[in-house]
């Protein structure tokens, strides 16, 4: 059941990555130059209140160093790359290995 939830979350993250990649590709074609939208810009366009709330939460609970170094660095990366990496990690967690003995069973 838990593996299913990880694989479902990986599928959702991959869908978001594809949507963000298509948006960046469309903007790239329209501008005739490479356009990579940072995750922070996309998040701020969709819901600026949750971005500010998460920044406040992380700064209060974990510390400002965590936001300034790690999370801000991640938010400056292209959104499709962040969600694609997240999908890969979630899929690897939820991956079910096949038993070697089961391959040869009749």
Terminal alpha carbon distance of the chain: 27
Task: Give φ, ψ of 78 to 5 degrees.
Answer: -60, 140
- Quick one: pLDDT at residue 104? 62
CA–CA distance, 51 with 69 (Å, rounded to integer): 16
Tokens of 36: 């990579």
Residue 97 has pLDDT above 90, yes or no: no
- Quick one: pLDDT at residue 96? 80
The stretch 87-101 carries a mean pLDDT of 85
CA–CA distance, 49 with 27 (Å, rounded to integer): 25
Tokens of 6: 């990880």
pLDDT tens digits, 25-83 = 999 999 999 999 999 999 999 999 999 999 999 999 998 999 999 999 999 999 999 99
* H helix count then E strand count, the chain: 7, 0
Tokens of 1: 């059941």
């Amino acid at each position: 059941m838990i593996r299913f939830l990880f694989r479902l979350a990986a599928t959702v993250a991959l869908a978001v990555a594809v949507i963000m990649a298509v948006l960046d590709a469309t903007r790239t074609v329209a501008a005739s130059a490479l356009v990579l939208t940072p995750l922070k810009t996309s998040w701020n366009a969709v819901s600026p209140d949750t971005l500010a709330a998460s920044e406040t939460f992380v700064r209060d609970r974990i510390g400002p160093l965590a936001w300034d170094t790690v999370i801000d660095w991640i938010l400056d990366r292209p959104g499709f790359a962040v969600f694609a990496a997240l999908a890969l990690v979630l899929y690897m967690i939820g991956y079910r290995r096949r038993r070697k003995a089961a391959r040869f069973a009749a």
